[in-house]
Amino acid sequence: MADKYQYPDERGHFGQYGGKFISETLAHAIEELRQGFNKYKDDPEFQREYAYELKHFVGRPSPVYYAKNWSKKLGGAQIWFKREDLNHTGAHKVNNCIGQILLAKRMGKTRIIAETGAGQHGVATATVAARYGLECVVYMGSEDVRRQASNVYRMRLLGAKVVPVESGSKTLKDALNEAMRDWVANVDDTFYIIGTVAGPAPYPEMVRDFQKIIGLECIEQMPQEAGKQPDYVIACVGGGSNAMGIFYPYIDYPEVKLVGVEAGGQGIDTPYHAASINRGQVGVLHGNRTMVMQDEDGQVMHTHSISAGLDYPGVGPEHVWLKELQRAEYQVINDDKALQAFHDCCRLEGIIPALESAHALAYAAELAPQLSNNQIILVNLSGRGDKDMHTVAEYSHIDLDSEV
């Protein structure tokens, strides 16, 4: 690529993907957001406050870390981690929430809404709402409320109101519809914080821009710590925000290969997976055109992954575009292999990774032995695994309440 990568276009398109597929009632809110984002994104005072918050509230920069034991054991390439697990609230999501709430304040909004599936985005949103003293309402499918009780409690501790959604399958996509309805009804005072690089334009671009700090830091850190830029950058892909965050600044480094890893669940030839790029079809979901897991009638399918954060039937439109440009490739890792990588990371490195991140780790562990020891694989360790204790214990048939 001789030309600099410059997407999306001014209408929010990444090739044929992205755009804004919204009802007329939302057109005004989206236009107001677009203007707000354009006004503040390069504003020095905005950037100064964003940088201050990342440093003092989130704890950035997050380090890069050489996983020496695991690399030695595998033989082959050096595996390095970008430690997003060390951020306040335990994952990358807070980077984006800080950016959006600063924008909300400048746009004069007093009320924050969000939707959440597993609860991680809800917690990050409730966290920044508390920090900035704004009212916060989080929509969550009632089935998810039941499954994710401790995250619901976290949000309530932080002062958010969690609204269980009883319609449809009572999960993420129903919560999303409710959040949209709320936004339409309360557009004057309400800001909708979307948690990944999806949604109608300008959200995919905006969320990417608030996450690109991950890759920008790596570009500075890797030559200092590892002596060169990585040969591979690997990240898990649910909606795709941690992956876009680390990929984006590397797009114009053509010698750095970018690999996204989707959730293969029980296998992509079964109905139980969440590999939208590898197995989905072009469709419209959450206000943008992208690859969607859908049946022959175009109905959005139920997805499955051992990690709740990857259990999403769409994917950010920019990933589909990067694949089409052949600038990134997208691999699949099944539940079993992610779980194995989770345990290896715990035992060999003393780091309990999020199950989402374990998908990226598993692919790195497959790739490393095929490379030489002067090559470097940089994995985005998107979050820590404390939240996944119950899931891992269940898979291992351990009852956390009775065994010590």
Q: Which of residues 120 and 187 has its CB atom nearest to ligand PLP in the complex?
A: 120
Is the bond preceding 369 in cis, omega lying within 30 degrees of 0?
no
Reading the block at residue 128, the tokens are: 């920044």
Q: How far apart are CA 91 and CA 79, in angstroms?
A: 20
Stretch binding ligand PLP (CB under 6 A), from 8-16, 37-45, 215-223, 241-249: 241-249
Stretch binding ligand PLP (CB under 6 A), from 13-21, 70-78, 327-335, 350-358: 350-358
Report the chain's terminal Cα–Cα distance, integer Å: 55
Between the CA of residue 82 and those of 35, 62, 98, 329, what are the distances in Å? 33, 7, 20, 20
Which residues does residue 116 pair with via DSSP β-bridges, in sequence order?
140
CA dihedral 45, 47, 48, 50 (to 10 degrees): 120
Task: Find the binder of ligand PLP among 93, 154, 208, 323 (CB under 6 A).
Answer: 93
Number of residues that bind ligand PLP (CB under 6 A): 19
CB of 240: closest distance to ligand PLP in angstroms? Answer: 5
Q: Does 91 participate in binding ligand PLP (rule CB under 6 A)? A: yes
Q: Which of residues 7 and 187 has its CB atom nearest to ligand PLP in the complex?
A: 7
> For the purposes of burial, counting CB atoms within 10 Å of the CB of 315, is it exposed (0-12), middle (13-18) or buried (19 or more)?
buried
Q: How far apart are CA 219 and CA 78, in angstroms?
A: 17
Q: Does 238 participate in binding ligand PLP (rule CB under 6 A)? A: yes
Q: Which of residues 313 and 383 has its CB atom nearest to ligand PLP in the complex?
A: 383
Q: Does 356 participate in binding ligand PLP (rule CB under 6 A)? A: yes
> For the purposes of burial, counting CB atoms within 10 Å of the CB of 128, is it exposed (0-12), middle (13-18) or buried (19 or more)?
buried
Q: Which of residues 187 and 355 has its CB atom nearest to ligand PLP in the complex?
A: 355
Q: How far apart are CA 331 and CA 318, in angstroms?
A: 16
Q: Which of residues 120 and 190 has its CB atom nearest to ligand PLP in the complex?
A: 120
φ, ψ dihedrals at 185, nearest 5°: -75, -25
C-beta atoms surrounding 209 within 10 Å: 18
Q: Does 288 participate in binding ligand PLP (rule CB under 6 A)? A: no
Task: Find the binder of ligand PLP among 116, 221, 241, 294 (CB under 6 A).
Answer: 241
Q: Does 314 participate in binding ligand PLP (rule CB under 6 A)? A: no
Identify residues 116-135 at the interface with ligand PLP (CB under 6 A): 120
Q: Does 262 participate in binding ligand PLP (rule CB under 6 A)? A: no
Site string for ligand PLP, 179-218 (x = CB under 6 A): -----------------x----------------------
Task: Find the binder of ligand PLP among 33, 383, 388, 392 (CB under 6 A).
Answer: 383
Q: Does 171 participate in binding ligand PLP (rule CB under 6 A)? A: no
| Number of residues written out for the chain | 404
Q: Which residues bind ligand PLP (CB under 6 A)?
A: 91, 93, 120, 196, 236-243, 309-310, 354, 356-357, 382-383
